[in-house]
Amino acid sequence: MKIISDLHIHSRYSRATSKALDIANLEKYARIKGLSLLGTGDFTHPLWLKELKSSLADDGSGIMRTKTGFLFLLQTEVSLMYTQNKKGRKVHLIILAPDFQTVDKINSWLLTRGRLDYDGRPIFGMDCISFTETIKEIDERIEIVPAHAWTPWFGVFGSMSGFDSIEECFAEQAKNIHMIETGLSSDPAMNWRLSALDRYSLISNSDSHSFWPWRIGRECNICEVKELSYESLIKTFVTRKGFVETIEVDPAYGKYHFDGHRACGISMSPAEAKKHSNICPVCKRPLTIGVLHRVEELADRAEGFVPEGAVPFRRILPLSEVIAAATGSSVASKATFREYYGLVGRFGSEMNVLLSADEKELVNECGEKIAGLIIQNRKGALEVTPGYDGEYGVLKVGRPEFRADDDEKKLVMKEKNKPDAQKGLSEFI
């Protein structure tokens, strides 16, 4: 059975998320995208957990189902902020759980350490070592995955508060870490440059704060499993047997690929940053050191090395952004949605359009310009101006100022006045 999964999302109870984020919209847009399994996000939040329990059924497999049969896996993210080795640390972790009973036990323990009701991604003042030890005591089946492992502020390897190895962060509990999440600003090829990461499976997820098709599933995992269960899926990821590939955006697209200063409009490659001693030439303060720079600091292999048994990947940007770039429109425009739904209606899902639709049929459906960019995208041939210091990367085709996050900000403003996503779409299609 083929499973395309995005196992790191958020609910409307997390900060800076769409207020129309609910199970119905997640299912709708996951199906349009071509995903077959979503993380639930935010199972630590009491109001969201109440919705999950009323919307999802567990048949004993550890995979939850909606009334219409769409699949979810219980998932949340926590933020650990603490001091270790005389340095302030901020590490985000994904937690995957096999059933609601286990979730209740996790939440009962976390409530002894702080509140859960103020944010879908709660913050705790404990280190990764003791956190992992207690979580595994609750249930050995729980998986802990360092989230967006390279981002400067909250990644396990982040330049601002991270560590130089999994072992340095987790100590003896490193034995219980089996996977890491690459994040938007890195891809497997960058992680392959560190021999110390060979033992960890590399998974890719969207960390989506909305259900819009340029967010949800922009990074995902493709697996072939013999049976559909929590244990079978986790085993597939950990052993890599049946782990077919990951879909990654170009890491330059991520918000922290290059070094830079957003306030000063300064973006630099690692080599350029080193020439400036990692100091911003405008304000004379330290630059935010990006993921590429950090990888090069820790790498013990040359660029291009592929370890034995590595899971392959493809670099693919979301279809909405490709269409918007081709037409010079915005990602949330009426014209973009019209083309998007035409293609999805013709080929069944966005994933089918991006990965397998016949080129001639694409041309017949959407014309040579859009079809040509879709094929270039499929080949990983679209160029992106690298993101830096919290700014997404920018496609080098279409209108030069194009940024998907700018367009999403406009949608968020619309949602405040019209929170129902189904009605809101009538403005665009």
Per-domain residue ranges of the chain: 2-253, 318-381+399-427
Closest CA to 143 of 237, 226, 55: 237
Confidence (pLDDT) at 406: 53
pLDDT at 290: 98
pLDDT score of 397: 83
DSSP result, 37-90: EEE---TTSHHHHHHHHHH-EE-SSS-EE-TT--EEEEEEEEEEEEEETTEEEE
Six token digits for residue 268? 């630099």
Per-block mean pLDDT, blocks of 10 residues, the chain (429 long)? 98 96 97 98 98 97 98 98 96 98 98 98 98 98 98 97 97 98 98 98 98 97 97 98 98 98 97 98 98 98 97 98 94 95 98 98 97 96 97 79 51 49 38
Residue 85: which of 167, 190, 9 has the closest Cα? 167
CATH numeric code, 2-253:
3.20.20.140
Q: What is the DSSP string of 138-189?
A: H-TT-EEEESSTT-TTTSTT-TTT--SSHHHHHGGGGGG--EEE--TT--HH
What values do phi and psi take at 394, rounded to 5?
-125, 130
Tokens of 277: 């001693």
Going by C-alpha positions, the residue among 82, 3, 101 that lies closest to residue 43 is 101
pTM over 0.95: no
pLDDT (0 to 100) of residue 123: 98
Three-state secondary-structure class, residue 397: coil
| DSSP letter assigned to residue 287 | P
Give CA separation, 256 vs 94, 155, 168, 230, in Å: 20, 11, 23, 32
